[in-house]
């Protein structure tokens, strides 16, 4: 699988999001997903302390075991775990990383990300604390998530990456965050690349959602709109006319965007992991990208 850079890290173009661990799937299923991902060539695993109330990190660390050396772990801190554990004050940064290291069963985190901006703390204080962790060998690279272009500029290029929502259905980062990433050499990590499942092709106008799926559970009301279903039908026709699936188009379109380092997608089964792993192999041409823009504009 193709690899790209996040600072000093050489990550696979497709990463595994571990947000389902401890919430939608148990430890045994999480382990199967992890091992299948590694077997499929994925080396980049993204989680957060808040996922599954800490269980995502625990399940990931437990599943990796001796295979820890073969992969790169990204995790996040800052969202509310409880009244005492939240935010980005330097003292909490140090506490949060120790908690994550313990849950993950590792002595270092490859990419440590602040999960959301904290307006109560000057960003320089948080960055200084994060860079102390790098010097201590507990963290290799530092990143952020849900940051605006202005907040990236305020950080002065000290983050190696930014992880924001981005997909064919959510193109807001193109306004200013992606250009800022290109200008500053910051890697961009898109989350929700499949738009809460809409870009898998499982959800079609006039058809019932698959049993147990997000659509069946009533998730994603902002995504499952008539306008987006129009786009889905056009995108499916475009992809299938070229011998590809909608999911391959969703992944490969992101892979073709400037600054994107790894497309992070969650999975609840080994079949989903396998499908995702091969999702970014379609090399879209500039003409393809122009036609897509026109088709869904």
Q: Tell me the mean pLDDT in the region 125-145.
A: 98
Q: Tell me the mean pLDDT in the region 127-144.
A: 98
Q: What is the pLDDT of residue 219?
A: 47
230-252 residue pLDDT tens = 999 999 999 999 999 999 999 99
**Residue 220: pLDDT over 80:** no
Cα separation, 266 vs 105, whole angstroms: 21
Q: What is the pLDDT of residue 267?
A: 95
**Residue 214: pLDDT over 60:** no
Q: Tell me the mean pLDDT in the region 198-212.
A: 70
Q: How confident is the model at residue 221 (pLDDT cuts 50, 70, 90)?
A: low
Residue count of the chain? 297
Q: What is the pLDDT of residue 212?
A: 53
Q: Tell me the mean pLDDT in the region 187-203.
A: 92
Q: Cα torsion for 272, 288, 281, 60, to the nearest 10°?
A: -50
Q: Tell me the mean pLDDT in the region 157-177.
A: 97
- Residue 155: is it exposed, middle or buried by C-beta count within 10 angstroms (0-12/13-18/19+)? buried
**Residue 74: pLDDT over 50:** yes
pTM of the model: 0.93
Q: How confident is the model at residue 217 (pLDDT cuts 50, 70, 90)?
A: very low
Average pLDDT, the chain: 94
Does the active-site annotation cover 224? no
Q: Which two tokens stand for residue 114?
A: 């602040």
How many separate domains does the chain show? 1
261-295 residue pLDDT tens = 999 999 999 999 999 999 999 999 999 999 999 99
Do strands 3-6 and 9-12 pair parallel, antiparallel, or not at all (unpaired)?
antiparallel
Residue 233's alpha-carbon distances to 28, 85, 167, 192, 210, in angstroms, are: 36, 44, 16, 19, 18
Contact 49, 100 (CB under 8 A): yes
Instruction: For residue 144, give the nearest of 112, 120, 174, 122 by alpha carbon.
Output: 112
Could you give the percent of the chain with pLDDT greater than 90?
88
Instruction: For residue 255, give the nearest of 225, 210, 285, 275 by alpha carbon.
Output: 285
Q: Tell me the mean pLDDT in the region 74-95.
A: 95
Catalytic residue among 51, 59, 92, 224: 51
Q: Give the CATH number of the domain where residue 152 resides.
A: 3.20.20.100
Count of C-beta atoms within a 10 Å radius of residue 102: 13
Q: What is the pLDDT of residue 241?
A: 97
9-29 residue pLDDT tens = 999 999 999 999 999 999 999
92-121 residue pLDDT tens = 999 999 999 999 999 999 999 999 999 999
Range of the domain at 153: 3-296
Dihedral sign, Cα of residue 79, residue 57, residue 54, residue 25: positive
Cα separation, 259 vs 165, whole angstroms: 14
């Amino acid at each position: 699988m193709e690899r790209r850079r996040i600072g000093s890290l050489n990550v696979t173009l497709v990463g595994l999001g571990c947000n389902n661990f401890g919430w939608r799937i148990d430890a045994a299923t999480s382990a199967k997903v992890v091992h299948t991902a590694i077997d499929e060539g994925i080396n980049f695993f993204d989680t957060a302390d808040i996922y599954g109330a800490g269980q995502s990190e625990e399940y990931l660390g437990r599943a990796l075991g001796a295979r820890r050396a073969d992969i790169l772990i990204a995790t996040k801190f800052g969202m509310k775990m409880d009244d005492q554990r939240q935010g980005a004050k330097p003292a909490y940064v140090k506490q949060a990383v120790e908690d994550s290291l313990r849950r993950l069963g590792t002595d270092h985190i490859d990419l440590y990300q602040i999960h959301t901006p904290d307006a109560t703390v000057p960003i320089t204080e948080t960055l200084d604390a994060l860079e102390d962790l790098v010097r201590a060998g507990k963290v290799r690279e530092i990143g952020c998530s849900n940051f605006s272009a202005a907040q990236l500029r305020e950080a002065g290029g000290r983050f190696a990456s930014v992880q924001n929502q981005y997909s064919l259905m959510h193109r807001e980062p193109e306004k200013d965050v992606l250009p800022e990433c290109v200008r500053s050499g910051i890697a961009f990590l898109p989350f929700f690349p499949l738009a809460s499942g809409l870009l898998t092709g499982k959800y079609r106008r006039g058809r019932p959602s698959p049993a147990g799926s997000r659509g069946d559970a009533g998730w994603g009301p902002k995504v499952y709109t008539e306008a987006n279903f129009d786009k889905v039908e056009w995108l499916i026709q475009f992809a299938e006319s070229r011998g590809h699936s909608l999911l391959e188009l969703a992944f490969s379109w992101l892979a073709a965007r400037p600054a994107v380092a790894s497309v992070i997608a969650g999975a609840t089964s080994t079949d989903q992991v396998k499908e995702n792993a091969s999702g970014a192999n379609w090399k879209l041409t500039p003409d393809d990208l122009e036609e897509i823009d026109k088709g869904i504009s």
